[in-house]
Amino acid sequence: MSDTWLLLLSAALGAGALNALAGGGSFLTLPALFQVGLPPIAANATSTVAVSPGYLGSTLGFRAELARLPSALLWKDSGICALGGLAGAGLLLVTPGRLFVAVVPWLLLFATAVFAAGPWLIRRLKQRAGPVPSAGAGWRRALGLAAVSIYGGYFNGGLGILLLALYQATGVSDLREANALKNLNSLVLSSVSVLTFAWAGQVHWPEALGMAVAAIVGGYLGAALTRRLPAHWVRAFVIATGLFMAAKFLWR
């Protein structure tokens, strides 16, 4: 195996494990693709394809919770996420490569900050929302979902935490239902983004497919590790990885 493939598959394996444990897999896949010489936009598109299969498994794992939710809500939120993901992916495609490289470290820092503050943010927003959704919660959810989806279509880092915080803040008090909605809409958003990137010819398929397989294996191993590793160790590792990668891009 060449050094290039060893780096890519190792990064994808680690990304799958991180996503299963706590999230943050794109902190590994995107820098690895940059390292092997892919152009900036193509690297982000290929990274999105590589980590996307994990969303399907997560969504299937919450079938029971999704079945309890109103179908109108699911269709509405999925439609918003599909349009937002399309807009974000389109915005990425028209971003000059040099500008995207300049923005990446700040996006990584933002995603790391969101991840680090995730538990506190979710608790805080849930307290402010109260047990009963207010009359304006539907509009706030739609607008927030559109903004988060555009961000997710452009750059996937921290997407899960943002979606979970949004749902908790707009009246979805059951954490399992909020997680189910988060996983479903992450799947919808990433699928639209992948199709957009593929249509634009920005996906490097050999790398994307090889990394996707490694990410699935990593996700399986990561799920097993969740029973053995303390959660705060995993969170600390993800935060350190995000800060290291951001610093590396800033140095470049």
- What lies within 8 Å, CB to CB, of 97 at 6+ separation is 39, 40, 41
> Residue 190: which of 92, 73, 71 has the closest Cα?
92
- What lies within 8 Å, CB to CB, of 6 at 6+ separation is none
Least confident of 18-22, 111-115, 211-215, 237-241: 18-22
Distance, in Å, from the CA atom of 113 to the CA atom of 201, rounded to the nearest integer, reads: 32
Q: Which of residues 119 and 151 earns the better pLDDT score? A: 151
Q: Is the per-residue pLDDT at 146 higher than 90?
A: yes
Q: Which of residues 112 and 91 earns the better pLDDT score? A: 91
Distance, in Å, from the CA atom of 206 to the CA atom of 201, rounded to the nearest integer, reads: 13
Least confident of 20-29, 30-39, 82-91, 99-108: 20-29
Q: Is the per-residue pLDDT at 101 higher than 60?
A: yes
Distance, in Å, from the CA atom of 198 to the CA atom of 210, rounded to the nearest integer, reads: 16
Q: If you average pLDDT over residues 196-225, what whole number do you get?
A: 88
- Cα 45 off chain centre by: 13
CA distances (Å), 19 to each of 44, 125, 140, in order? Answer: 17, 23, 28
Q: Give the pLDDT band of residue 49 (cuts 50, 70, 90).
A: very high
What's the pTM?
Answer: 0.81
